[in-house]
Chains A and B, each alone.
Chain A
């Protein structure tokens, strides 16, 4: 602590330079946080996927349907605990920009298969009794200001241009912050009643709950073998593999984010490394004096590292603080195109870790240079 005056006084030597360097860290860490939450949002399906759930889709593509009659055949396979099915609805609320995922669900099994999505018994029972009933995720309800009892019109272009009217009977919440709260569920029977004949008796995909995740490979194979050589062959995989495959449709998001992040941090390293090098070079004479009066090489290195780490820490915290404030606003502006944008504690810790790593890396070379500085030569140059 007795060296704090020396370290902090040097930090504030050039205020404009300090502000710009802090700004570099803040912008980089803000960008880091943003990229991390976007990556997390894309991968959310994989991370929240249950280990004991499988997803069965049409082997050709998820947009091709599979028959409802498959349900009972899947249920007969040993190790299958429960089966539910869903259909993509693809509507919008009032206008095109108000997009959110709507699913036609199997009310008998939805809650048991997706037990992490919580809805109260009262609301669920009201939903079961209401043919036009719907359950909305808390995020979507909040986004549009819906409350239980509201009449919700959803426009759909896949199954006819008319608006479908729903009664909001309940609102579900995720068990964790990562769970998707943007979905909108409604009854299979209502859907079957209104869709054209060609679409009746067909579902988008099955979600299969297993007795044990250890049986996932065997049961996946058993399901696909069951429907091999039929007009509707299936492809079954774990829910996390399904989610990963879904994300891949958007391109290699992970690589893209990693590439952008790497460029940002490499640039930050060059900028701050150069700044620290200039800062150290400017005070060659002062460092020589410190060494002359008895400060050891290790102390000189620590002073310079302390400076670069302090800049990294303050700038990094500023950037992450900015991200904490701005990302929810940005998430709202995305109109539900991505699940909740959440900055987790691990992201914050990783961000601080990255900032300190860059701080240490940018200070180490100038610090070693200062350590090796020969006092006599330094005085000759001054």
Chain B
């Protein structure tokens, strides 16, 4: 269950408490996120919406351990990540986070197979075990026959599927999707969203997604709106979810 929590008593998979992020630009402090509280349970599918500069991507970066907050805490499956060293945070990301980006961000000189294999190179899996995992991930995203193709030989939708396969191949704790359909036409976007829904419904993945598209957001369990660094509203998506009060 997703909740924009103010009580501090929840035991969700992801717990965010009093999250602040402030940038300094030319001596001026810019408060991107202010006192954010959030709980996300395993299997939840949350969409974040909001105007540009509202802090959506900053929130996603903080949840993914790519950036550190000015104050506040983030705990994932019991690990408090906000005070981890850079090296520890890198290891943590490898184990717990799968990233999907708007521009796919595949390595163009590697085949689909090699791109999906990248996160597994950091594990102790043998070559044959890695092959099994990669083939399974490519099957889940519907591209078992494109493993030898390079990104330039794939359509945008297919590239994003490969990126999703890369994100799930190491079975991370949760997926962070930053505008996953932002660069796709409607048909491809629908296919990608169907795939993400399948990951949530069939494979019980936890997904946190930033989007500008209300139609895409409507397919999540819950849409949270960010405005001026605060979660100001929570609306139900395709399933029944309960939300706490905005901070």
Binding site for B on A (CB under 8 A): 2-3, 5-6, 9-10, 12-13, 285-286, 288-297, 375-376, 379, 382
Contacts and interface: CB of A to CB of B under 8 A. Distances in A.
A5 B108 CA distance: 13
B110 A295 contact: no
Indicate the member of B61, B86, B122 with the most A CB atoms within 10 Å. B122
Interface string B68-105: 00000000000000000011001101110001010101
Given A290-B118, A291-B90, A294-B91, A2 B109 contact: no
B121 A9 contact: no
B105 A289 contact: yes
A96 to B, nearest CB: 59
Q: Is the interface of A mostly helix, strand, loop or mixed?
A: helix
A5 B105 contact: no
Given A12-B109, A292-B66, A292-B93, A382 B103 contact: yes
Given A292-B66, A293-B99, 18 more contacts: A2-B127, A6-B121, A9-B114, A285-B103, A289-B105, A289-B107, A292-B93, A292-B99, A293-B93, A293-B118, A293-B122, A294-B91, A294-B93, A294-B119, A296-B87, A296-B90, A375-B66, A379-B101
Interface of B: 61, 64, 66-67, 86-87, 90-91, 93-95, 99, 101, 103, 105, 107-110, 114, 118-119, 121-122, 127, 166
B87 to A, nearest CB: 6
A289 B118 CA distance: 10
A9 B105 contact: no
Nearest to B150: A9
Contacts of A3: 121
A308 to B, nearest CB: 17
24 contacts: A3-B121, A5-B110, A5-B114, A6-B107, A6-B114, A9-B114, A12-B109, A285-B103, A285-B105, A286-B107, A289-B101, A289-B105, A289-B107, A290-B107, A293-B94, A294-B91, A294-B94, A294-B119, A295-B90, A296-B90, A296-B91, A297-B87, A297-B90, A376-B61
Contacts of A294: 90-91, 93-95, 119, 122
A266 B119 CA distance: 39
Indicate the member of A3, A5, A288 with the most B CB atoms within 10 Å. A5
Contacts of A291: 90
Nearest to A379: B101
Contact of B122 (A285, A295, A297): A295
Given A375-B66, A382-B103, A9 B166 contact: no
Nearest to A289: B105
A5 B110 CA distance: 8
A376 B105 contact: no
Going nearest first, the 7 A-B pairs with the smallest beta carbon separation are: A294-B94, A9-B109, A289-B105, A375-B66, A376-B67, A293-B119, A294-B122
Nearest to B121: A2
A226 B243 CA distance: 113
Contacts of A382: 103, 105
Given A292-B93, A293-B99, A13 B109 contact: yes
Nearest to B123: A294
A376 B58 CA distance: 9
B23 to A, nearest CB: 11
Contacts of A379: 101
Nearest to A14: B109
Contacts of A375: 61, 66-67
A14 to B, nearest CB: 10
A165 B124 CA distance: 80
B103 A9 contact: no
Nearest to A291: B90
Contacts of A290: 107, 118
A297 B90 CA distance: 9
Contacts of A10: 109
A13 B86 CA distance: 30
Nearest to A294: B94
A216 to B, nearest CB: 62
Given A9-B110, A9-B114, A292 B91 contact: no
A16 to B, nearest CB: 15
A341 to B, nearest CB: 42
Contacts of B109: 9-10, 12-13
A283 to B, nearest CB: 8
Indicate the member of B66, B87, B94 with the most A CB atoms within 10 Å. B66
A84 B121 CA distance: 72
Nearest to A13: B109
A5 B111 CA distance: 10
B90 A286 contact: no
